[in-house]
Structure 1
Amino acid sequence: MNPSINPSLRRALVVIDVQEEYVTGGLLIEYPPIQESLANIGRAMDAARAAAIPIVVVQHTAPPSAPVFVKGTPAWELHEVVSSRPRDHYVEKAFPSAFAGTDLAAWLKARGVDTITVVGYMTQNCDDSTLKQAESAGLKAEFLQDASGAVPYENRAGFASAEEIHRVYSVVLQSRFASVMSTEAWIEAVSHNTPAPAVETIFDSNQRARRRQGVPA
């Protein structure tokens, strides 16, 4: 380990589902633009390696009958941005959360990790699920919002654009579950091994929103 790194902060970078399905397959990331988020994922992995932060690569697998993420298909493969870079641990998962049905929690605990930094896809599904389950695993969490991304949805409940979903989920995560930040800010933090900006609270986030709307807090 780099002797300049303060061992009191023990991060791991968790790279979630950076697979061709989101780049050339059936679930195309629309916001932020995929090439921007891919570039930032690569930057985050390089910065983690330079700072001796362990890197966990997660890959989603669906049943053979599924329309996406079928193991062995070209779209299931990891994107070159991730597959070409070194990693410390690999997790194959079948559920949204990278913790569900995997050895991730045990692997992190064995290495004394107390904070996970999540990048990858999708913001509203596997990223969100992993970040929220981190709390119950006793971990702090960080989310790099420009190294992740969303797709649009339309269903019986209505329509939401990828940008709307990504923005709203980022706000919700910052209200309790994760420190939401840019890749640039995270790289600056890890280069000095300093904490991320604080996670806020549901109450404070609500009161600030009420003031913005002109409603008495």
Structure 2
Amino acid sequence: MQDLDENYRIAYGNRVGFGKRPALVLIDFAKAYFEPDCVLYADVDAALASALRLRAAAHAAHIPVVLTEVTYQPGGRNGGRFFEKAKPLACFVKGEKTAEFAEGLVPGPEDIIVSKQYPSAFFGTSLSSTLTAMGIDTVVLTGLTTSGCVRASCVDSMSHGFITAVVRDACGDRHPAPHEANLFDMNAKYADVVSEAETLAYFSACGM
């Protein structure tokens, strides 16, 4: 019987590469993931550090940067079934400290902020229209968590017609198993999973 890894390599080994006009998306880097007393706490400092380096490079190259945040009205009444199912989303009710951007991630005047209530950065937001109007053909994803909002955004990015890349170094999760499994699956079917170094070189080469 054929080895599973070999089977995947043959069936899903295609690599698309980067396009000509990228945008960088930082997904849900909120304080909730960095506060040890919070139910959502995760060991994701390295992912944030990588994302911040990428943001600095994007700014230097005049590449658009999008920051997403999750925000709910009191009681989560605009959160629908997602808020009903995932109880830790209470950390993102407007006014909670845990809903704020992580330390070190201060939105700049040039950054686009997208507020969302569901996993994907595209679902129920203007992100796709905004990127299309800017002539963007490539979406570079970073963020938290790999198995949740990064994956959902990846699938929707591809579905909206964008070349999609996920930066391994700049994504994180609360457990290594779902992190690695979802990187594997996204790379197989929806996007190229790339390194920070590859992405920095790309940004440098295609400054807008």
TM-score higher than 0.5:
yes
**1: CA distance between counterparts of 2:169 and 2:122?**
23
Question: Is 1:39 paired with 2:49?
Answer: yes
Tell me, yes or no, if structure 1 residue 98 matches structure 2 residue 121.
Answer: yes
Where has structure 1 moved over 3 Å in runs of 4 or more? 84-87
Aligned to 2:65: 55
**Could you tell me how far apart the structure 1 residues matched to 2:110 and 2:103 are?**
13
Higher relative contact order (CA 8 A, sep 6+): 2
State the distance in 2 between where 1:36 and 1:50 align.
21
Identity %: 32
Structure 1 counterpart of 2:105 = 82
User: Which moved further from structure 2: 54-63 or 120-129?
Assistant: 54-63
- The answer on 1:22 being equivalent to 2:33 is yes
Q: After the TM superposition, which of the residue ranges 63-72 and 114-123 deviates more from structure 2?
A: 63-72
Tell whether 2:144 aligns with 1:118.
no
**Aligned residues: CA RMSD:** 1.7
Q: Name structure 1 gaps, 5 residues minimum.
A: 1-7, 152-161, 195-217
C-alpha distance in structure 1 between counterparts of 2:115 and 2:155, whole Å = 19
Alpha-carbon offset, residue 192 of structure 1: 1.5
Q: Deviations over 1:147-188 (max 9, x none)?
A: 11011xxxxxxxxxx111111111101102111111122101
Change (3 A) 1:86 1:163: farther
Alignment map for 1:1-217 (pairs within 5 Å): 9-24=20-35, 25-30=38-43, 34-65=44-75, 66-83=89-106, 85-151=108-174, 162-193=175-206
- TM-score for both structures, normalised by structure 2: 0.79
For 1:78 and 1:88, the matched residues in 2 are separated by: 13
How far did residue 190 of structure 1 move? 1.6
Q: 2: distance between equivalents of 1:16 and 1:70?
A: 17
Q: Which one has a larger percent helix, Structure 1 or Structure 2?
A: 2
When normalised by structure 1's length, the TM-score is: 0.76
| Paired position in structure 2 for 1:158 | none
Q: Distance in 2 between matches of 1:178 and 1:29?
A: 24
Deviation at 1:84, TM superposition (A): 5.2
Tell me the distance in 2 between the aligned counterparts of 1:117 and 1:70. Answer: 27
Give the whole-Å Cα distance in 2 for the aligned partners of 1:137 and 1:84: 26
AA aligned opposite 2:179: H
